[in-house]
Every structure is written in C-alpha cells, then in structure tokens.
Chains A and B, each alone.
Chain A
Amino acid sequence: KNQVEQSPQSLIILEGKNCTLQCNYTVSPFSNLRWYKQDTGRGPVSLTIMTFSENTKSNGRYTATLDADTKQSSLHITASQLSDSASYICVVSCEFSGGYNKLIFGAGTRLAVHP
C-alpha cells in the first residue's frame, strides 16, 4: 500500500532555533518527493521537489534531503522565524495509469515557533 508517514506529528520550537522534520514513504513506482508548507486554512505552497537522483535541495532556510535507498526524506529549517509556524506536508508522487502522477500526502507536521 502506498503510504507516507511523517514525524513528529507536532513540534514546538523557539524562534531562532533549528529543527528537522522526517518523512518515510512506501510508494511505488516513485516519481518524486516534495515538501509543502500549509498555513491554517490556506492552500499548500511548494518548498522543494526532488527526483530519485537528487539527495539535497535547498530553498532559503529550508533544506530537504532524500535517501531513495531507505525511502526517507527530511526537511531542515534553520534559524526559525515566527512565520514558519505552519503544517509541513511531505508528498510523494506515484506513477499512475493514463499518464497521470498521483500525489500521496503525508499527514503533516504541525510546527509552532514561539518567541
């Protein structure tokens, strides 16, 4: 069964600190993996997208890693800001029939950054 599991479910950190969010997946056939940031009541916004051959990708203070062998990914946030408070969703794309790639969503990690 195609699944994406994220940990922790929720996380509280102080402003300025770093944190790392985890994503494990069992999706086949794998197409790519992306991290989205979703503010409460808003649509997800893409942070990074990685294919099978990419190990690391950065977007400002966000750095994502991918280990395709162990089927694990992480999202590292450096020097956190209050505006980083949001849900972070790991999404794995699975090749589907008819030329369509189905997105398998993780349940997300709810991050709260406190002053």
Chain B
Amino acid sequence: DTEVTQTPKHLVMGMTNKKSLKCEQHMGHRAMYWYKQKAKKPPELMFVYSYEKLSINESVPSRFSPECPNSSLLNLHLHALQPEDSALYLCASSPKPGETEAFFGQGTRLTVV
C-alpha cells in the first residue's frame, strides 16, 4: 500500500459548522503534513507532525486544529471558517521527518459558504 488516503473528497460547510478532514497512510511513515492549496497556486505548508507530535505550525489560524491520534492517522478539525478558507487541502507523508520523498493524498476540496 503506497497511498495516502484523504476523506472526504469534497466538503461544503457553513461558517458556523464544525467539520473534520481525515488522512490515512499505512506505509509506516512517521512524518505527516497538511498543506493548503488555492487555485493556480502552489501548496502552502500548514502543519508538520513528527512521530505523532506537532513539530511545525506555520502560523495557521486557530480555526484550524490538527490532531494525530496515531502514526497512521492525521485529522484537521475545522471550526468557524471563512469563505477565503475555501481551497484544496492536501495531506502528505514521508518515511521520517528528515526524509524528503513526500507522498501526497488526492486532497479534499473544501468550500466554505
């Protein structure tokens, strides 16, 4: 299994809703990442988890809350989002934090209305 699986593929939520994005990998990777990508722009790093601990937070607003329940799962909890948060959210993993081969999931297309 060489895949990073993200669910849901699409999500529409209101500004008062609470929702979660999920990411799963079974490659034994110990580093996992959340990226945000706006249309026609490169991905922007949001969070890095290293051995299930948050190691990098790129000054992301608190309405985005990451969680790493175990080495295979990564969640992104969403609350009180703004329409400008609408984007493609990508999860990625790599064998170790220092490893540079990152495998990306297919992304969740989020629309905030």
- A contact set with B: CB distance below 8 Å: 31-32, 34, 36, 41-46, 49, 89, 93, 98-103, 105-108, 110
Contacts and interface: CB of A to CB of B under 8 A. Distances in A.
Interface residues of B, number: 27
A98 B97 contact: yes
A88 B42 CA distance: 10
A59 B55 CA distance: 33
A107 B40 CA distance: 8
B7 to A, nearest CB: 13
Contacts of B42: 89, 105-108
Given A98-B55, A100-B48, A105-B42, A31 B97 contact: no
Given A46-B103, A107-B40, 8 more contacts: A41-B109, A43-B4, A43-B6, A46-B102, A93-B100, A98-B50, A100-B97, A103-B45
Q: Is the interface of A mostly helix, strand, loop or mixed?
A: strand
Contacts, number: 59
Contacts of A110: 40
Contact of A43 (B31, B101, B107): B107
Contacts of B101: 34, 46, 49
Interface of B: 4, 6, 31, 40-43, 45, 48, 50, 55-56, 88, 90, 92, 97-107, 109
Nearest to B103: A46
B50 A44 contact: no
Contacts of B92: 43
A46 B92 CA distance: 12
